[in-house]
Structure 1
Amino acid sequence: MLIFGFGPIPALGIKGAAIASVIAWAVGVAIILYILIAKKQLLSLKAGKQTVIGAIRKILKIGLPAAGANMLTPVAMAVMTALVAHHGPEAVAAFGVGSRIESIASLVVLALSMTLPPFISQNFGASHFSRVKDAYLGTLKFVMLWQFIIYIILIIFSGVISEIFGKEQAVVDVIKLFIYTIPLSYGLQGVIILSNSSFNALHKPMNALVLSVIRLFVFYIPFAYIGNELAGLIGLFIGAAIGNLFTALVAYKWFMKEIEALSSQALQECSH
């Protein structure tokens, strides 16, 4: 309504989109606070055994590195967009569409990245490391299978999707090229995302931050750049997918190593 106008409401364009975003977030926060404070009584301003400063320190210990990891993604996307821009405005437009497709195609992964960490954190606190390992591995297997199914669906409907978002044939062609390459690595990207959130659940936020740096600036962007130099736009997309492969391998090996180390440490403490 605010973008295009509705009745007495004038068309505000981009300004309308910005205002609508602020309203939506404000309403969402108000509803969440009402549920937490009034209905569930999970928040209180009364001081308990833990001081406010102590609570803030615990939150920021995990929150700051996690925020830093999240900030790296738009930086990396800006670099990727700059690389794509060398292939013309049609390629940039198609890459933007591809990014939106990625957001929708990764919804289940993002949902799991919010639900898996509490389970891992709870069992980590109880020293049930075998359950942590089983949950992590089971979730990764599901994500790999699910994202492959999503890839097949995207391939089947690639023509329809491309024509919906692209009006020019050049844009349609690049969207199809994107769909045939990068989504193949969405399962691997899911492994990275879930490993990242699981590291936070183990109270190892710096591991998650380092993993994000490795993914974006050691594998994803460098491989995309090399692919671009060797084979142009298709090489760029394939390079990005290969970058996800190598990062997923690092993430999996690293997380499993951490779990084994924590399990051994717990056994030693029990024996003493």
Structure 2
Amino acid sequence: MSADKQTNKRPDMLNGPIQFTLRKMTIPMIYGMIMLMTFGLVDTFFVSLLGTEQLAAISFTFPVTFTLISLNIGLGIGTSAIIGRYLGSGDHSHAKEFATGSLMLATIMVGALAVLGLMTIEPVFALLGASETLMPYIKDYMIVWYFAGVFLALPMVGNSVLRASGDTKTPSIIMAAGGGVNALLDPLLIFGWGPIPAMGIQGAAVATAIAWGIGVIWILTLLVKRHLMLPRLLSFQELRFTSGGILKIGLPAAGANMLTPIAGGVLTKIVSGYGAAAVAAWGVGNRLESIASIAVLALSMSLPPFISQNFGAEKLSRVRDAYSIAIRFVLIWQFGVFVVMWLLSPFIAAAFTQDPAVAKLIQLFLLIVPLGYGLQGIVILTNSSFNAMHKPMSALILSVIRLFVFLVPISLVGSLLYDLEGMFWGSVVANLLMGALSFFWFKRQLSREFSCLSEQLQ
């Protein structure tokens, strides 16, 4: 199919009905992410069959692996914001140049961070509270995962280019396919079959590496065929020019995302004081949170291109209306998700473990923490909206306040007063306070943009 025909099938972000356009962009993302996150849970499930120690080990890796993923997310946010604004203003030439530069930049930066990670596995995980018993399992997993991290960079940033152009269906297909490959290879590589030896926890990382490698080939082929990137590498001067623009938004965005695993590491350290069973339950709960927040995560990917293009076209009323629609939706949707998880908590816990202690703690997590997911959704969507409007420092400050003024301190106080249950309730209170602050902050910023636009038109 030609690039022109593909373009005609994309939603009209500048003129189409807002609710219809957001729905058309978000639904494919939800389908793709459900498949991807479900297969991520399958990953955790197969590792859990190896034993509680292996499940605890992979739970310790979440804050660290998310740090590398956060860099890709940040670069993708910067890429999407800049390309969306160029496309909104009709400058397709610069959009292609920035797309190429973003892919090159992601490869260089993620590669450097992966090398640093390989050199610091033991001290980092010891700092997180991992015991000597768990360290061999963590090493087996992370050595392969760091090498695979470079394969992750190109599909993640490349998907941001597609979304900036209005195509959310193809990134969903790529995500779902990658998750499917990973899920199919997991049991084969973890437990072995025929001539293939059992690799244990390391097999999960190898399966992930293969899935991401397929994604690299796929995304690069699509971007070149659709003329969304240049069919060559940039010169040093071109890379320097594009990198400056991308990093201006991408670095604060990446920093904001990297704060999440740092805070997660602190919370994991608190949880580790309650034993391996608590860490195992915490890891399962975090994976389930990704599934439970699927609509929020999908909207956080489909809303920014819409806002960027309309911001570039100076259609601020559409920005305001899109943000309000998204916030109302996530509050209603996530409350429904909480009710479902509350009712199914005993069955969900039993599906992940046969250890009564771990199952009890998983159920406790599900009875409390999901109540705050809708409020957390306000923060996530506000963050992505700030970045889409080229206000990365506002998004960064918002993240700092959320994690280190509210979430970590309140959760810590809750744990000191009421143990793990108090920690879980602390996260709900923190999300309530931060959700309110985020909403009013964005509304105030949008009012300023309206005032600036009015002055320009006079």
Q: Same fold (TM over 0.5)?
A: yes
CA distance in 1, matches of 2:265, 2:314: 41
Give RMSD over aligned pairs.
1.6
Hey, what does 1:66 align to over in structure 2? 253
Sequence identity, in percent? Answer: 51
CA distance in 1, matches of 2:275, 2:190: 28
Hey, what does 2:422 align to over in structure 1? 235
1:46 Cα deviation from its structure 2 partner: 8.1
Query: Which of 251, 272, 278 is 1:91 aligned to?
Result: 278
CA distance in 2, matches of 1:212, 1:25: 28
- Structure number with the bigger relative contact order (C-alpha 8 A, sep ≥ 6) is 2
Hey, what does 2:228 align to over in structure 1? 42
Whether 1:27 and 2:214 are equivalent positions in the alignment is yes
CA distance in 2, matches of 1:119, 1:43: 20
Which structure 2 residues correspond to residues 1-272 of structure 1 after superposition, within 5 A?
A: 1-38=188-225, 40-44=226-230, 45=232, 51-271=238-458
Of 194-203 and 11-20, the range deviating more from structure 2:
11-20
TM-score of the superposed pair, with normalisation by structure 2:
0.57
Instruction: Please list every run of 5 or more consecutive structure 1 residues that lacks an aligned counterpart in the other structure.
Output: none
SS in 2 for 1:139: helix
CA distance in 1, matches of 2:203, 2:356: 30
SS in 2 for 1:2: helix
Instruction: Please list every run of 5 or more consecutive structure 2 residues that lacks an aligned counterpart in the other structure.
Output: 1-187
1:234 Cα deviation from its structure 2 partner: 0.9
CA distance in 1, matches of 2:401, 2:451: 27
1:32 Cα deviation from its structure 2 partner: 0.7
CA distance in 2, matches of 1:268, 1:11: 67
SS in 2 for 1:37: helix
* 8 Å contact from structure 1 (residues 94, 166) kept in 2: no
CA distance in 1, matches of 2:439, 2:196: 52
Matched to 1:267, the amino acid is: S
CA distance in 2, matches of 1:112, 1:27: 26
CA distance in 2, matches of 1:72, 1:154: 27
SS in 2 for 1:87: coil
CA distance in 2, matches of 1:264, 1:23: 51
1:157-201 per-position Cα deviation (integer Å, ceiling 9, x unaligned): 111001111322222221111111110000011111111111110
CA distance in 1, matches of 2:233, 2:284: 48
Deviation beyond 3 Å, 4+ runs, structure 1: none
CA distance in 2, matches of 1:174, 1:18: 27
SS in 1 for 2:191: coil
1:2 Cα deviation from its structure 2 partner: 1.4
CA distance in 2, matches of 1:77, 1:257: 30
Matched to 2:228, the amino acid is: L
TM-score of the superposed pair, with normalisation by structure 1:
0.94
Matched to 2:353, the amino acid is: G
CA distance in 2, matches of 1:30, 1:68: 28
